[in-house]
């Protein structure tokens, strides 16, 4: 929990805020407090309605006059004045928490519950004020904070819709986003809980981006492998067909003689030969053709490497 030292300390920090910052801070503070009180009052009585909550900007400030301060019906100076409507008489009165039971009949237990909610709300307020003061004193801290805020902006309002942080599925709500922009517009630091939620959202989004990037690289590799495999398969088929064409030409030549010079085969099967030369050396092509003849045709041949010729050695049985 983060609390200021005392009311004087709280007011000293509030005095550092400019007019717009105070207005935004008080708006959210008053709205939250009003919601808490209204819910408690509605549950306990139909006779009273909470109309407003005023915040004493000069609470316990000895330099200010009474007309600039807020007071309870009992005469006590107030930091928070709860403006209530008595539905029975139409009278509007201002009260502090301690006078609820006396003037409205709302029990002390309810007032204590309201007081507990107030402590939580004070923690929220003090947390913002202390962060504001820390930012005033620490340039490094402020720079780190600003970097996080700017990064979050690029992932929300400034980002293409498909790249934005999914608010409904994440930890940031639309209500959080509204407060974020209101505070950002006047230069107020965010409540620590919201700031932590933003850091959590950014971390989750970063992990998601890294996972998607890895998946994309993997998919590209798979596609590349598929394309390479298809290309290799296509090439192999092309070479097999070229070798088969050379074998067919070789068989026709062997029917006319026992020795077939390589150049003779080349002139008879120039096109498939040229395809094979693009991938293999001449000796390799000679070997591939000879192997194909021995495996698939009725002839059997050997190779005269000196003369670069095919020699028929017999017929397959």
Instruction: Tell me the per-residue pLDDT of 197-208, one tens digit each, with 9 for 90 and over.
Output: 888 878 877 777
Highest mean pLDDT range out of 30-39, 94-103, 104-113, 125-134? 125-134
On whether both 124 and 242 belong to a single domain, the answer is no
Give a yes or no: residue 194 inside a domain.
Answer: no
Predicted local confidence at residue 112, as pLDDT: 66
Question: What is the number of domains present in the chain?
Answer: 2
Whole-number percent of the chain with pLDDT over 90: 15
**Mean pLDDT, all residues of the chain:** 80
Predicted local confidence at residue 255, as pLDDT: 84
Q: What average pLDDT does range 126-133 have in this prediction?
A: 88
Give a yes or no: residue 198 inside a domain.
Answer: no
- Last residue within a domain, chosen from 83, 108, 135: 135
Q: What average pLDDT does range 88-96 have in this prediction?
A: 90
Q: Answer yes or no: is pLDDT of 144 > 90.
A: no
Give a yes or no: residue 23 inside a domain.
Answer: yes
Predicted local confidence at residue 316, as pLDDT: 55
- Last residue within a domain, chosen from 116, 135, 154: 135
- 156: which residues sit within 8 A by CB, 6+ positions away? 164, 165, 167, 177
> What crossing angle do the helices spanning 174-186 and 19-44 adopt, rounded to 10°?
150
On whether both 230 and 110 belong to a single domain, the answer is no
On whether both 1 and 130 belong to a single domain, the answer is yes
Predicted local confidence at residue 36, as pLDDT: 63
Predicted local confidence at residue 317, as pLDDT: 46
On whether both 246 and 124 belong to a single domain, the answer is no
Q: Answer yes or no: is pLDDT of 214 > 80.
A: no
- Last residue within a domain, chosen from 101, 135, 169: 135
Q: What average pLDDT does range 51-69 have in this prediction?
A: 84
On whether both 118 and 243 belong to a single domain, the answer is no
Domain that holds residue 298: 226-315
Give a yes or no: residue 22 inside a domain.
Answer: yes
- Of the ranges 2-16, 34-48, 51-65, 198-212, which one carries the lowest mean pLDDT score? 34-48
Predicted local confidence at residue 43, as pLDDT: 61
């Amino acid at each position: 929990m983060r609390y200021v030292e005392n009311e004087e300390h709280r007011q000293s920090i509030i005095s550092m805020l400019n007019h717009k910052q105070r207005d935004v801070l008080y708006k959210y503070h008053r709205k939250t407090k009003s919601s808490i009180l209204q819910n408690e009052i509605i549950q306990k009585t139909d006779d009273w309605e909470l109309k407003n909550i005023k915040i004493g900007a000069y609470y316990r400030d000895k330099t200010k006059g009474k007309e600039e301060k807020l007071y309870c019906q009992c005469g006590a100076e107030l930091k928070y004045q709860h403006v209530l409507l008595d539905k029975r008489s139409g009278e509007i009165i201002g009260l502090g928490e301690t006078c609820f039971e006396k003037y409205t009949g709302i029990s002390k237990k309810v007032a204590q519950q309201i007081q507990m909610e107030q402590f939580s709300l004070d923690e929220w307020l003090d947390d913002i004020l202390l962060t504001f003061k820390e930012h005033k004193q620490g340039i490094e801290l402020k720079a780190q904070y600003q970097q996080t805020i700017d990064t979050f902006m690029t992932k929300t309002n400034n980002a293409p819709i498909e790249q934005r942080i999914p608010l409904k599925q994440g930890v940031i709500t639309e209500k959080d986003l509204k407060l974020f922009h209101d505070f950002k517009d006047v230069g107020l630091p965010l409540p620590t809980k919201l700031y932590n939620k933003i850091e959590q959202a950014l971390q989750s989004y970063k992990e998601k981006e890294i996972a998607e990037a890895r998946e994309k690289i993997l998919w590209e590799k798979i596609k590349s492998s598929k394309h390479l495999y298809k290309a290799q398969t296509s090439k192999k088929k092309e070479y097999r067909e070229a070798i088969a064409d050379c074998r067919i030409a070789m068989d026709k030549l062997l029917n006319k003689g026992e020795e077939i010079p390589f150049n003779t085969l080349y002139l008879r099967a120039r096109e498939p030969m040229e395809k094979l030369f693009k991938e293999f050396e001449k000796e390799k092509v000679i070997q591939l053709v000879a192997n194909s003849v021995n495996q698939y045709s009725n002839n059997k041949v050997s190779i005269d490497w000196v003369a670069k010729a095919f020699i028929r050695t017999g017929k397959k049985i």
